[in-house]
């Protein structure tokens, strides 16, 4: 058995866990990261594409911002396609200059892994049967199976950054935890293609046939989504069928300019709103998807993980460097206040743009009225914009 002694054990080697480990290490606070899957598997996931300024700032503070600043693109707005036309949301104009960075989560994770390696950070892959112990004691510890043996890490704190299906949230007693969930009756079929983006900025499309999104990763790598029934499987959709359906949901002039090509990734993501309260139990802190899930419409998933990590990073700094635990003690309440606002925005934007399978004509008219109000009111656009660029930490 290998035994470790560290200050913080982080479960999960996704963006949340890696970012926290990197930030803490630069402040002299020791951690180890336990990741179930291989690095190749983690880096093979295609997920978020839009970074709020808060996450951009954290990546720079973590010493991981160079490639993001070189290859990422600053976007000052995006389009909503509806009734055959494009209307633009001027993010910078409506928020006094705030913007978003278009840079894939895969690249964020790649940069974080590289930084962990460079600093000699401990990230263990292929760990199994992770168990959390002594969460209410002064000396919690974590055990796991690896290479045929049992291993143990003694620590001061445990951070559960192990995503929606992880072990951390399930380690909190059921009578302590409250879970809030809303499952949407549709999913997003996503395609990645080595083709130039159809437009300079993102296009969110509302169409009677269903939602579509035109996003991008670079000038030669595009990411597209269409709303599909939950019963669909990615293998049910040929590339040709996907491109034809996407074109049907875009204004004709936009569809005419769409460059199609073979999909290099194709997957369906379910949509749900989910929050687990509290985000702390004894010495265990939940962060990122382990604690909350949003429908990706508002591009908030990864960005909410970032604000959790910001609060934990400052809380651990104050605890270890100044002997002040107020930040850790208020973590759950502070994080949840921002989480619920992002949950609301993501739910609102999802309802604004998707076709409800059980919706009727009245629902469609109310949805159109929501859009008509949005594009007739500077205040409504400013409200959307301030949520999309990210509410203050
Ligand atoms: P993650 O799930 O990324 O990472 C958790 C890590 O913990 C994983 O690597 C997992 O292997 C590991 N783990 C799990 N259980 C473990 C255990 N028992 N022991 C050790 N390790 C364990 N967000 C957007 O903003 N836009 C999008 O378009 C978007 N698309 C998405 C599509 C999908 C299919 C999914 C699932 C999510 C999507 N998201 C999107 C949200 C996504 O970006 C998350 O918010 C982001 O990955 C959160 O990062 P983490 O909290 O690190 O969780
Ligand atoms: C993406 O590029 O994957 C993306 C962008 C914006 C969203 C969701 C996903 O709202």
What pLDDT score does 243 carry? 98
Supply the pTM of this predicted model. Answer: 0.97
Q: How far is the CA of 287 from the centre of ligand 1 (A)?
A: 11
Residues in contact with ligand 1 (CB, 6 Å cut-off): 11-17, 34-37, 42, 47-48, 105, 127, 130, 161-163, 165-167, 269, 288-289, 296, 299-302, 305
| pLDDT score of 84 | 96
pLDDT score at 374: 98
The separation between CA 212 and the C-alpha centre of its own chain, rounded to angstroms, equals 19
pLDDT at position 185: 97
Q: State the pLDDT at residue 1.
A: 82
- What's the pLDDT at 140? 98
The sheet with strand 284-286 has its strands ordered as 122-125, 31-35, 8-11, 157-160, 284-286, 280-281
- Omega into 62 within 30° of 0, i.e. cis? no
Does ligand 2 have an atom closer than 6 angstroms to the CB of 385? no
CATH number, domain 184-271+357-389? 3.30.9.10
Residue 57: what pLDDT?
98
Domain boundaries, the chain: 2-74+99-180+272-348, 184-271+357-389
Q: Which atom of ligand 1 is nearest to the CA of 144?
A: 19
Three-state SS sequence of the chain:
CCEEECCEEEECCCHHHHHHHHHHHCCCCCEEEEECCCHHHHHCCCCCCEECHHHHHHHHHCCCCHHHHHHCEEECEEEEEECCEEEEEEHHHHHCCCCEEECCHHHHHHHHHHHHHHCCCEEEECCEEEEEECCCCCCCEEEEEECCEEEEEECCEEEECCCCCCCCHHHCCCCCCEEEEEEEEEEEEEEEECCCCCCCCCEEECCCCCCEEEEEEECCEEEEEEEECCCCCHHHCCHHHHHHHHHHCCCHHHHHCCCCCCEEEEEEEEEEEEEEECCEECCEEECHHHCEECCHHHCCHHHHHHHHHHHHHHHHHHHHHHCCCHHHHCHHHHHHHHHHHHHHHHHHHHHHHCCCCCCCHHHHHHHHHHHHHHCCCHHHHHHHHHHHHCCCC
CA distance 122 to 131: 18
Q: Are the CB atoms for 307 and 335 separated by under 8 Å? A: yes
- What residues are labeled active site? 75, 204, 296, 300, 388
> Residue 265 class from Cβ within 10 Å (0-12 exposed, 13-18 middle, 19+ buried)?
middle
Instruction: State whether the beta carbon of 223 lies less than 6 angstroms from ligand 2.
Output: yes
Tokens (6 digits) for 57 = 């700032």
Strands 149-154 and 31-35: unpaired
Q: Give the Å distances, CA to CA, from 53 to 15, 50, 299.
A: 16, 10, 13
Closest approach atom of ligand 2 to CA 300: 10
Whether 390 is in the pocket of ligand 2, judged by its Cβ within 6 Å, is no
DSSP-assigned beta bridge partners for residue 145: 128, 150
Cβ of 49 below 6 Å from ligand 2 = yes
Do residues 11 and 168 make contact, with C-beta atoms less than 8 angstroms apart?
Answer: yes
Taking Cα atoms as reference points, which of 61, 20, 1 lies closest to residue 9? Answer: 20
Residue having the nearest C-alpha atom to atom 6 of ligand 2: 299
- Nearest bound ligand to CA 269? 1
Note the Cα 228 to chain centre separation in Å: 21
Å from CA of 248 to ligand 1 middle: 31
363 Cα–ligand 1 center, Å:
33
The ligand 1 atom at the shortest distance from the C-alpha of residue 161 is 51
Residue whose CA is closest, atom 24 of ligand 1?
48
User: Could you tell me which CATH class the domain 2-74+99-180+272-348 is placed in?
Assistant: alpha beta
Q: Is 46 in the pocket of ligand 2 (CB under 6 A)?
A: no
Render each residue's pLDDT in the chain as its tens digit; 393 residues: 889 999 999 999 999 999 999 999 999 999 999 999 999 999 999 999 999 999 999 999 999 999 999 999 999 999 999 999 999 999 999 999 999 999 999 999 999 999 999 999 999 999 999 999 999 998 999 999 999 999 999 999 999 999 999 999 999 999 999 999 999 999 999 999 999 999 999 999 999 999 999 999 999 999 999 999 999 999 999 999 999 999 999 999 999 999 999 999 999 999 999 999 999 999 999 999 999 999 999 999 999 999 999 999 999 999 999 999 999 999 999 999 999 999 999 999 999 999 999 999 999 999 999 999 999 999 999 999 999 999 999
Sheet holding 50-51, edge to edge: 50-51, 100-102, 73-75
Name the residue of 35, 289, 306, 335 whose CB sits within 8 Å of the most ligand 1 atoms, as the mutation to test its pocket.
289
Please work out whether the CB of residue 297 comes within 6 Å of at least one atom of ligand 2.
Answer: yes
């Amino acid at each position: 058995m290998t035994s470790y002694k560290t200050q913080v054990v982080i479960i999960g080697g996704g963006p949340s866990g890696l970012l926290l480990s990197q930030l803490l290490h630069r402040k002299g606070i020791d951690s180890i990261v336990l990741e179930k899957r291989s690095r190749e598997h983690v880096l093979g996931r295609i997920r978020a594409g839009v970074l709020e300024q808060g996450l951009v700032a954290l990546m720079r503070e973590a010493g991981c911002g160079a490639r993001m600043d070189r290859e990422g693109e600053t976007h000052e707005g995006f389009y909503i396609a509806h009734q055959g036309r494009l209307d633009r949301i001027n993010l910078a104009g409506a928020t006094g200059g705030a913007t978003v960075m278009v840079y894939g989560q895969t690249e964020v994770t790649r940069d974080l892994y590289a930084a962990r390696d460079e600093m000699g950070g401990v990230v263990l892959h292929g760990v199994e049967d992770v168990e959390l112990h002594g969460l209410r004691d002064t000396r919690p510890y974590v055990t796991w199976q690896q290479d045929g043996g049992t291993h143990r890490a003694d620590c001061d704190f445990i951070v559960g950054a192990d995503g929606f299906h992880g072990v951390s949230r399930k380690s909190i007693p059921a009578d302590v935890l409250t879970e809030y969930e809303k499952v949407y009756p549709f999913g997003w079929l996503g395609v990645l293609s080595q083709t130039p983006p159809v437009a300079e900025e993102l296009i969110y499309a509302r169409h009677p046939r269903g939602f579509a999104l035109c996003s991008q990763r670079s000038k030669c790598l595009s990411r597209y989504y269409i709303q599909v029934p939950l019963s669909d499987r990615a293998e049910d959709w040929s590339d040709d069928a996907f491109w034809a359906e996407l074109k049907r949901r875009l204004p004709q002039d936009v569809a005419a300019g769409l460059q199609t090509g073979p999909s290099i990734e194709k997957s369906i993501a379910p949509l749900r709103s989910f929050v687990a309260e509290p985000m702390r139990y004894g010495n265990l802190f939940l962060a990122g998807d382990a604690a909350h899930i949003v429908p990706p419409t508002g591009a908030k998933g990864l960005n909410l993980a970032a604000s959790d990590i910001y609060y934990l990073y400052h809380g651990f700094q104050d605890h270890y460097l100044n002997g002040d635990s107020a930040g850790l003690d208020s973590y759950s309440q502070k994080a949840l206040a921002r989480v619920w606002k992002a949950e609301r925005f993501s739910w609102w934007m999802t309802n604004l743009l998707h076709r409800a399978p059980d919706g009727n004509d009245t629902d469609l008219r109310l949805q159109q009225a929501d859009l008509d109000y949005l594009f007739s009111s500077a205040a409504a656009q400013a409200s959307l914009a301030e949520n999309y660029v990210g509410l203050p930490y």
